[in-house]
Amino acid sequence: MKKSAMPKISRRTSLALLSASAAAVLGQRRAWAEASPRLIDVHAHLFNATDIPARSFLKIVVLDHYPEQGVERMLDFGEPGVTDWLVSLFVWIVAGRAPTARAEIDFLSGRGGSSLPASVDASTAVTKEKLRQFLQSAGSSAMANMSVRPNGFASPGDAGREKFVDAIRKAAARGFQLSPDALTDEQTLAEAAFLSPTDVGSYLRWFNLFALYRHALAEQLTATYRAQQLTPQLICPAAVNYSHWLDEYPTSPFADQVEVMGLVAKRSRDVMIHGYIGYDPLAQVHFRRQIAGSTDQLALIRTAVLEHGFLGVKLYPPMGFKPMGNAPGQTYPQPILDRLGGHVSEGLNEAMEELFALCTQLDIPILAHAAASNGAGPEYADRADPAFWLPVFTKYPTLRLCLAHFGRFDHRSSGAAPGSVLPAASWEWELGKFVKSHSQQRLFVDLSYLSQAQDVDVANRKKLGTIIRNFLNEFDPSAERILYGSDWIMLGRESKSDTFATDLFSFLRHDVGLSQDAIERVCFRNAIRFLGLSQGSATRSRLASLYQRWQLPSKRLALFDS
């Protein structure tokens, strides 16, 4: 049978298919930007597939959150094997492509070139070819012909195979007039599925980002902001450090990740790149108990902050720990209990106390995941409840903390009064009550991944806007504790990630009712206080010294004074 070729799709047409409504959205929602174009993204990610425990990471993310804003669903994760096939596709697409931290260190240091794609366009071409190969193998022999088995990753088997391949075919047919012959041509399917305005297309374009250099990811995010007529001045990427909870470890050692992000910061000229080093208290417990291969996490934090331009620390409590008060009866994964021989809670409490003491000494902030998501085990995500953070401030009153992913109001806090109902019983409300009675605390929240602000259902969007407005009226009337964060690259799986900032600030202006001045605080000025970037601060002094050593103009730090 003669195969039907798909008409060549230009980059301009591709972008139009992916962002058909972007121009209209930007045209309707520009007013706030004219008053406040400056932006500090306090919560982003610039990691690639070698920086994370890829398979476990993706399974947790996929099962926990599904791209839901304005995309048609083709994948049925309730079908046996479908999730395994999606994870397998991810591994197949990025295997051997994503530059390790060491490879990028050599590249940025001028010690050698690289044959790896350095741009999004070049990477996209490779991703489409990898997808074609995947379809060819999956469709004929359940991946038996695939020669690459990264990290021993086995084929997922026949369960869900037909459903998964059928979902890709259906996704490819959306937005294109494909003939029956074209639906049997893997190259045509790969091209169309990648551009598809469905969940399949969202995942494929997202997977593509995980194969890029970290400095290329920084450039991509910067370009996304500028396309929205924003002026990004500082992007704060957070490293992921929770491998011990998942018993899967990244290809790039964590020390190399710190070094490469220091080089990205040093290389950056137009936009400052300074982020957070991930801290895993469980990894520190391993070090304190002299488990083979473990390293001192606190020493690495010092190195990251003092030598590589990091601003603070990132924590992931939903992996399985509380910031304080981990109890002996608390459940943990069995491999951890077997490896450490019990007494895990005590070790975690000690490791967290060490962290808080160091952060206080260096005067560096903490960014903590504070959404009921991404749990490493049953109900582990509940350990991210902001109520568990409140006792920390009694012992460490000068600590600077930002609790990420504010704005859902859909999860009941362990500290909520009996009989109370949402939203007054929510994690957010419990935090608000503490802030109201402890106004001196340096406690903030960020709006990262608040994709609900992009809901096409006006009634839903306005309902959320009213809840946030009521919260602010009660607990933070001047909006001085809310920060802008994107959670990109994670945000990249959403169909409207390219206009997230514009849509979010429009939501704050029109649905929440914030003034232009309040929005300027959210997207710029509040972050200066949280990050400690004002004149005379320890962080500002450290950066000024590093800039002098790196031969960068320290005068750009004056941007934070205006």
Give residue 401's pLDDT: 98
475: three-class secondary structure by DSSP: helix
* Residue 1 domain flag: no
Q: What is the CATH number of the domain that holds 221?
A: 3.20.20.140
CB 3 within 8 A of CB 181: yes
> Which of 175, 190, 209 is where one domain is finished?
209
One domain for residues 238 and 187: no
Give the CA diameter of the chain: 74
One domain for residues 417 and 361: yes
* Residue 315 domain flag: yes
DSSP state of 497: G
One domain for residues 324 and 286: yes
* Residue 3 domain flag: no
* Residue 2 domain flag: no
One domain for residues 196 and 228: no
Give residue 186's pLDDT: 86
Give residue 91's pLDDT: 86
One domain for residues 233 and 168: no
* Residue 29 domain flag: no
* Residue 35 domain flag: no
Residues making up the chain, counted from first to last:
562
Give residue 48's pLDDT: 95
Total tally of structural domains belonging to the chain: 2
* Domain enclosing residue 291, as ranges: 214-557
* Residue 32 domain flag: no
One domain for residues 368 and 397: yes
One domain for residues 155 and 234: no
* Residue 43 domain flag: no
pTM score of the predicted model: 0.90
One domain for residues 401 and 449: yes
Can you give the three-state secondary structure of 168-217, one letter per residue?
A: HHHHHHCCCCCCCCHHHCHHHHHHHHHHCCEHHHHHHHHHHHCCCCHHHH
Print pLDDT tens along the chain (562 aa).
333 344 444 444 444 444 443 444 444 444 444 444 899 999 999 999 999 998 888 877 766 554 444 568 888 877 778 888 888 888 888 888 899 999 999 999 888 666 666 678 888 999 999 999 888 887 554 344 343 343 333 456 666 788 888 889 888 888 676 776 666 788 888 999 999 988 899 999 999 999 999 999 999 999 999 999 999 999 999 999 999 999 899 999 999 999 999 999 999 888 999 999 999 999 999 999 999 889 999 999 999 999 999 999 999 999 999 999 999 889 998 889 988 987 899 999 999 999 999 999 999 999 999 998 888 888 899 999 999 999 999 999 999 999 999 999 999 999 999 999 999 999 999 999 999 999 999 999 999 999 999 998 999 999 999 999 999 999 999 999 999 999 999 998 888 999 999 999 999 999 999 999 999 999 999 999 999 999 999 999 999 999 999 999 888 899 999 7
One domain for residues 132 and 225: no
Q: In the β-sheet with 276-278, what is the strand arrangement from edge to edge? A: 276-278, 312-315, 366-369, 400-404, 442-446, 482-483
One domain for residues 231 and 317: yes
> Which of 209, 227, 246 is where one domain is finished?
209
One domain for residues 197 and 250: no
One domain for residues 99 and 169: yes
Give residue 156's pLDDT: 63
> Between the CA of residue 448 and those of 331, 382, 475, what are the distances in Å?
29, 19, 20
> Which of 189, 209, 229 is where one domain is finished?
209
Taking the C-alpha atoms of residue 427 and residue 539, their distance in angstroms, rounded to an integer, is 30
